[in-house]
């Protein structure tokens, strides 16, 4: 509560050019440890820490991860880490916030004018890309959900809920106009999420059974294709489809 960074949010907002004011004072910096510091500093350090934290939190959760571990992975000392983030929980929440953005993004882009097939196929692909490229984001999100989302409850009730509401309206419209079979919009949304995130959250299981990963380009395309066909056409042979 009584520390510079601890105050609230941004700590090392602007970093003065190092050595500018020291120029000439010290003839030779007594054994400067770092070799030619890369320009990225401060603001950048925060993000290094954040991504290290994401990696660990998304696997072991808040309690399963110690700040020591995060510090080690980010290659900073524990106390240095605590200079940038007042405490463990603030770090955790910071990670979550960044995440929510990434996670909600694909949801935004489809409207009633689009062709439902196109729109949904595209959405599935985008979500699977995230499962492939940001599995940690997906996992952490999942962890939060399982625990009852104590820290995201508000966002869940507001942003996500209203976003889904709008989206559902689009789906309902598609159904009304006869372009989709009668599905309950909410359930379709849940289904799309479930089907796509599964490949990130249960990656070990997927790997244990299929022996493949989304990293494998062929497997990725195969997955996109299968999920799209499942959702769009179902699995029953046409003959069995009544009306």
Partner DNA sequence: GTCTATAATTGGATAGAC
Partner DNA sequence: GTCTATCCAATTATAGAC
SS (H, E, C) 24-51: CCCCCCCCCCCCCCCCCCCHHHHHHHHH
CB-wise, 24 or 238, nearer to a second copy?
A: 238
Any idea what DSSP says for residue 17?
P
Per CB under 7 A, 58 contacts DNA? no
Per CB under 7 A, 89 contacts DNA? yes
Q: How far is the CB of 160 from a second copy (least distance, A)?
A: 7
217 binds, among a second copy, DNA, none (CB under 5 to 8 A by kind): none
89 binds, among a second copy, DNA, none (CB under 5 to 8 A by kind): DNA
Per CB under 7 A, 15 contacts DNA? yes
240 binds, among DNA, a second copy, none (CB under 5 to 8 A by kind): a second copy
Size of the site for DNA (CB under 7 A): 27
Candidate residues 54, 82, 137, 206; the one interacting with DNA per rule CB under 7 A: 82
CB-wise, 76 or 206, nearer to DNA?
A: 76
186 binds, among a second copy, DNA, none (CB under 5 to 8 A by kind): a second copy
136-170 CB burial, b ≥16 within 10 A, e <16 = bbbbbbbbbeeeebebbeeeeeeeeeeebeebbeb
- The Cα-based distances of 149 to 93, 144, 157, 173 in angstroms read 11, 5, 11, 31
191-214 CB burial, b ≥16 within 10 A, e <16 = ebbebbbbbbbebeebeeeeeeeb
Per CB under 7 A, 126 contacts DNA? no
CB-wise, 112 or 164, nearer to a second copy?
A: 164
Q: Which positions lie near a second copy, rule CB under 8 A? A: 58-64, 116-117, 120, 139, 142-143, 145-149, 153, 156-157, 160-161, 164, 178-181, 183-184, 186-191, 193-195, 197-199, 201-202, 204-206, 208-210, 222-223, 226-227, 229-238, 240-241, 243
3 binds, among a second copy, DNA, none (CB under 5 to 8 A by kind): DNA
11-45 CB burial, b ≥16 within 10 A, e <16 = beeeeeeeeeeeeeeeeeeeeeeeeeeeeeeeeeb
Q: Three-state SS for 147?
A: coil
Contact by Cβ (8 Å): 152, 96? yes
Q: How far is the CB of 149 from DNA (least distance, A)?
A: 20
What is the contact surface with DNA in residues (CB under 7 A)?
1-3, 6, 11-12, 15-16, 41-42, 45, 65-68, 76-80, 82-84, 86-89
């Amino acid at each position: 509560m009584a520390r510079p960074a601890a105050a609230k949010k941004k700590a090392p907002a602007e970093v003065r050019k190092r050595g500018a004011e020291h120029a000439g004072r010290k003839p030779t910096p007594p054994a400067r440890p770092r070799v030619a510091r890369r320009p990225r500093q401060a603001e950048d350090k925060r993000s290094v820490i954040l991504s290290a934290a994401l990696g660990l939190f998304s696997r072991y959760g808040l309690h399963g991860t110690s700040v020591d571990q995060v510090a080690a992975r980010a290659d900073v000392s524990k106390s240095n880490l605590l200079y940038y983030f007042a405490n463990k929980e603030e770090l955790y929440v910071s990670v979550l916030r960044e995440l929510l953005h990434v996670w909600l993004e694909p949801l935004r882009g489809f409207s009633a004018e689009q062709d439902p097939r196109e729109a949904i196929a595209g959405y599935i692909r985008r979500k699977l890309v995230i499962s492939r490229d940001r599995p940690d984001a997906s996992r952490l999100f999942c962890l939060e959900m399982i625990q009852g989302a104590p820290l995201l409850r508000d966002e869940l009730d507001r942003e996500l809920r209203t976003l889904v509401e709008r989206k559902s309206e689009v789906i309902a419209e598609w159904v009304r106009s006869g372009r989709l079979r009668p599905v309950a919009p909410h359930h379709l949304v849940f289904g799309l999420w479930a089907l796509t995130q599964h490949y990130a959250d249960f990656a070990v299981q997927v790997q244990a059974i299929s022996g493949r990963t989304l990293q494998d380009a062929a497997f990725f395309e195969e997955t996109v294709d299968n999920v799209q066909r499942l959702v769009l056409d179902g699995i029953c042979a046409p003959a069995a489809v009544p009306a």
